[in-house]
Each structure stands twice: as structure tokens, then as C-alpha cells.
Amino acid sequence: MNASEPMTKPTQHALLVAWGEFARQLGLIQGLDALRLHQKRYQHSPQTKVIEFLVATLAGLEHLKAISRSAHPLDQDPTVAQAWGRAAWADYSGVSRTLKALTLSEVEQIVQVLEITSQMFIAAEVNLALLFDQRLIYDGDLTGLAVSKSSTTYPGVAFGHMDDRIRLGYQAAVVSLHSPTYERLWLSVNHHSGNLVSASVAQEMIQAAEARTGVRPWRRTELLAQRLQAVSDYIGVLHQKLAERQQKVSQAQLELDQVQQQVADWQACVVELAAEYQASQRPERPTSRLAQARRKLASFQNRYQRRVKTLAKAQQVLEWTHGLITQQQADQRVLQQRLERSQRDNATNPQPVPVVFRLDAGFGTYENLALLIEMGYEVYTKLQNWKVLQSLIRQVPPEAQWTAVGTRAEMFAWKAHGLESFYYPLDVGLERFTDGERVKHCALLHFGPTPVTQDLPGWFNFYAGRQTIEAGIKESKQTFKLHRLKVRSEAAICLQEQFVLFAANFIRWASAWLEQGTGANALKAEQLGMKELVQVAAHTSGEVVRNSEGKLLKFSEQSVYAGKVLKLPIFVYQLPLPLGKTFDFLRL
């Protein structure tokens, strides 16, 4: 706001003005304006319409049309536009056209700007978490984005499990960081088709989280090397079995050839005797040479069929062994590459950090567990395999003492327990829930230094802390309307997912920033819930005032926040303590 502008400006979207000022001070607006988008500018630049889409996301608009067709249209609020560095906003139809024309590479550029803006806050929270909790805690999950089952205009949709039903749509793989200041910060979101299963994206989620935080744990290369050696030994055993089974195939082929020759000999004998009996007009009696020859022939023909089956089975086992060796050799190559990559990671990681990863049962496959363990994570998850669960239930001794861990919930645990066919011992906590006459079981799995079996209620409650990411997913859908896809191109859908998660982080940062402008009538933004901030405060009337104290945002007397004021302070960022200094402090 310069000296030639009015001293007071009205708005119907008060908090959006404050957020625009915060975005400008962070450099977010400048970063988005600097993007090179391939679309031409007519009345509004494509950058303006991308920013307008972000503001609509912050405002929790359910449909793009609400930008222009609501009680107080966003595109008719010049004060908000100016707060976000715009001369004016575009009609919703122009925003829609721009989003439809975006390419995936352009969306990647937009996401890079969001990540640069976010990095200072994420780095600060990483340091605080290590300072106070001496570890980082990640939560990972999938969230379904369903569309109409009869829709044909969404690209790349597929049927999959969403909200406990089979629905058509997409899946978003998300990772959050447990934040000392903000409780939850989103780290990453990756877009997938609806038929994605949790088990296939664990590594992608780990890599995304590590890229955002810039830190990682020490890779457990010694465990990986042991597993690789076990695979190599198994391949050696398989090669021995292969030689034995090749010998069985050769022996079966030899026996088949012998029987085949015997069948041919007895067939010739029967033909010869039959001709002889016919020429002499001798009757064929049961004990005659011809009858005996026919029985011999039938016997060898039956033996031939058995030899054919024996050979086929031996060949099948041989082919299966060949396939198993090929599979194991492929696994060996993957593990060797993982080991080499892990060794490089350790060589370039002078300050590894302890990191916990909490995942739901969908991620609890053996391969995912092994991957997380080998990558150095402390893992908390649930058992996925129903048969293994039944085996655990049978292993509980009759005299076992169950520990109460919650309402109608008990646990019995094994420390460093070996699950069938799994590579590493795990802490296993069998849970028993009672609901009237019904009893339900499930199992928690853990790998890491925390002695969870010594504190079963603590283990139960810590894993239940995953509810923070489930609450975040609920917030993204109910508050930011992620469940309503506002666009129908793949690039724009990816951008909507990114904007929603960034908006949830951004508002938390902005609320802390607004707390700097304290006063008797100050609105305590940090004390308001996210839903109220987005759906109420961002749609409340007020005015922006510029005076000797700086910029103030006054809520109108007709609003729910009548008499309340927000001072728009200068954003001051304190650089986070370097990791080395953080660890030095921890060692004191």
C-alpha cells in the first residue's frame, strides 16, 4: 500500500487479506510471479490465475464457480486482490481454462516454489523436534479421492478401496511430520490412480519425506548385508536342487524312452501273433499267447502313461526351480543395489537422525517392513497377514496375563519375536478388543530401540497417535474440500492436492505470525480452529487500515468478530539451529 492509495479499504474476506500480506513477506507471491508458464496473457496473466486458485483453496471454496458465483464473490473483492499483488482477479472460467492448460512440468515448477517457501518452517520444526524429543516422527497414509462411478472425463482414474468401499477415483499418498509447534506439518503428497495399494508406495513416501526434511537415519547396512548373504546362500541351495531335478528329468526321460520301446515291441508281438492266429484259424483263449501278449501290451501302455506324468511333473518342478532362481537373482540384484545405495547414503550422512515411521496395516507387508528397517527407521505398524494373526492367537499361553491398554482393550506382547518367513525379529503386540460378546484381535508390530514391550499402554497410545494424520486427511476434505475435484486434467488435479496440503501448513504458519501483533482487541488466530479460520474468518467483512502503527485489519461491526483487530506485522524469521549444534546441545 503506497501513500497515494486510500487509507482504508473494505473487504468481505478479511483473513484472506492478512494471508496475502504474509505470502508477500514470505516471497511466495514473488516466486509464483517469476514462473514461466506457456500460456499467453490476455486480461490476466496465467500466474495471476494460479495464485487465484491458491487463494480459493485457502478460502475453502467447494467449486471453482464459487469464485464468481457466491454471496460475496472473491473476484469482486479488490482489497484481497491487491493484498495478493494483483490489480484484479479473473472470472472463474478463466481460472478453469488456465488450470486445464497446465502441464505436469509447470505444476512441478509451482510445487518447487511452495517447497522453497515451506523449507524454513520445516527446517525449524525438524530442529525443535530433535531438540525436545530427540527424534522425528513421520506418519504415512493413503487418502482416496473418489469421482462418480459413471464419469468418463477424469484421466487415469481406476477402481480401488476408498473409505472402505470400492470406488472410482484417485489415491494420494501423504506423509506428515509431528511438529512441536504446529502439531502436524504436511511433508509430501504424491498422486496415483485409484487402484494403487498401500504396499507399493512405502519407498516413494520415505524418499519424499527425506527430501523435504533434508535428514535421514543411519542405514542398517549390516542387516541388509546379512539378508543379501542369506539370499546368495539360498540361490546356491537352489542351484544344487536344480542339478538334482535336472537329473530326475533325465532319468524320467530315459525311463519313458525305455517303456516306449517296450510298448512298440509288444505292439509288434501282438500284431504278429494276431496274424498267426488268424492264418491258422486258432481261437484266442484267455491263457493263450496272444491274450497274454495283449495283457503285457496294456500293462506297458499304462506304465507309459505313468512315465509321461512323472516326466511332466519333473519338468514342472524343474521349471519352477528355474523361475525361483530367476526371482531370487532379481531380488539379489535389487538388494545389492539397495546395499550400495545405503552405503553411499551413510558415507554422505555425517549426522544421521533417529526417525520413527508410523503406518497403518495396509503398509504392513513383509517387504515394506524389511525396507523400512533396512533404511534405518524405527517402525510402528499393524500386522496385515490374517493367517499370521491366527497363528499368534494360538501361541498365547492359557495362563497369559493380558494388560489393559484402553477401554475394552488389552494386549499381550512378545519381545523380538520371529514371525514365520520374515527376515528380522519384531516386537509383536497382540491386541484384544471386547464389544459385548464379540472379541476382535489385531497385532501391532515394532522394530527399533524403544522397549515397547515394557510399557504396553504407552505402545498402544503412541501408535494411536497416528490419528493426527487421519485428522489431517479429514481436514483436507472437510475444510479444504479436497474430496471435490475442481478440475479435470491430471496436472491440475495434482496441483489441487499440493495446494490443499500447502494451505493447511501455510495457515498454521500465518496464525503464529499474526500472534506477533498483540493488543487488547487482537483476534487470537492461533486459538481458532482451522475450520473456523477458513470457513468463517476468511469470509468475514472488515477493512484494512494504514496508519502510523502500520497495517491493521479491523473486523466490521456486523461480523462475528466485531471490535477485533489484527495487526499485520513484519515477518521476522530466526534461522534454525544447525543440526550439529542441536546434537551438541543434546549431548550436554
For residue range 313-323, list pLDDT tens digits in order.
Answer: 999 999 999 99
Kind and range of the H or E run holding 550:
strand 550-555
Q: Which residues contact 356 (CB under 8 A, 6 or more apart)?
A: 135, 136, 137, 138, 377, 378, 379, 380, 448
Residues 503 and 19 sit within 8 Å (Cβ to Cβ): no
For residue 349, the one-letter residue type is: N
Lowest average pLDDT, out of 91-95, 111-115, 281-285, goes to: 281-285
Query: What are the cell numbers at 39?
Result: 500460456
For 242-260, what is the mean pLDDT?
96
Does the pLDDT at position 547 exceed 90? no
Residue 207 is inside which H or E element, if any?
helix 202-213
Mean pLDDT of 350-362: 93
pLDDT value at 325 more than 50: yes
Q: How far is CA 453 from CA 75, 207, 303, 432, in A?
A: 58, 30, 61, 16
d(CA 573, CA 390): 54
Task: Please name the residues in contact with 129: beta carbons below 8 A apart, sequence gap of 6 or more.
Answer: 135, 136, 137, 177, 178, 179, 180
The arithmetic mean of pLDDT across residues 267-294, rounded, is: 92
Q: What is the DSSP string of 66-100?
A: GGTSSSS-GGG-HHHHHHTT-S-PPPHHHHHHHHH
The set of residues, in sequence order, having a beta carbon less than 8 Å from that of 53 and lying 6+ positions away, is 64, 95, 99, 495, 496, 499
Q: What pLDDT, on the 0 to 100 scale, is given for residue 279?
A: 92
Instruction: Please determine, for residue 194, whether its predicted confidence score (pLDDT) is greater than 90.
Output: no
% pLDDT > 90, the chain: 75
pLDDT digits 0-9 by tens, 430-474: 999 988 778 999 999 999 999 999 999 999 999 999 999 999 999
Residue 588: is its pLDDT beyond 70?
A: no
DSSP structural state of residue 201: S
Asked whether the beta carbons of 567 and 552 are under 8 A apart, the reply is: yes
Please give the average per-residue pLDDT across 404-419, as a whole number.
Answer: 93
What is d(CA 508, CA 185) in angstroms, rounded to the nearest whole number? 9
pLDDT for the residue 586 = 40
The reported pTM is 0.87
Mean pLDDT score across all residues of the chain? 91
Cα–Cα separations (whole angstroms), residue 255 to 15, 166, 246, 267, 524: 88, 54, 14, 18, 90
pLDDT of residue 111: 96
Residues 6+ apart with CB under 8 A from 266: 293, 296, 297, 300
pLDDT digits (tens, 9 = 90+) for 23-32: 999 999 999 9
Q: Is the pLDDT of residue 519 over 90?
A: no
- Mean pLDDT across the stretch 378-395? 93
What does the domain layout of the chain look like in residue ranges? Answer: 8-101+517-568, 222-341, 361-465
Tens digit of each residue's pLDDT (9 = 90 or more) over 50-71:
999 999 999 999 999 999 999 9
Most confident of 2-6, 218-222, 528-532: 218-222
What's the pLDDT band for 569 if we cut at 50, 70, 90? confident
Q: Is the pLDDT of residue 40 over 90?
A: no
Q: How far apart are CA 58 and CA 582, in angstroms?
A: 34
Selection from 62, 71, 86 nearest residue 12 by Cα: 71
pLDDT at 581 over 90: no
Rounded to an integer, the average pLDDT of 293-315 is: 95
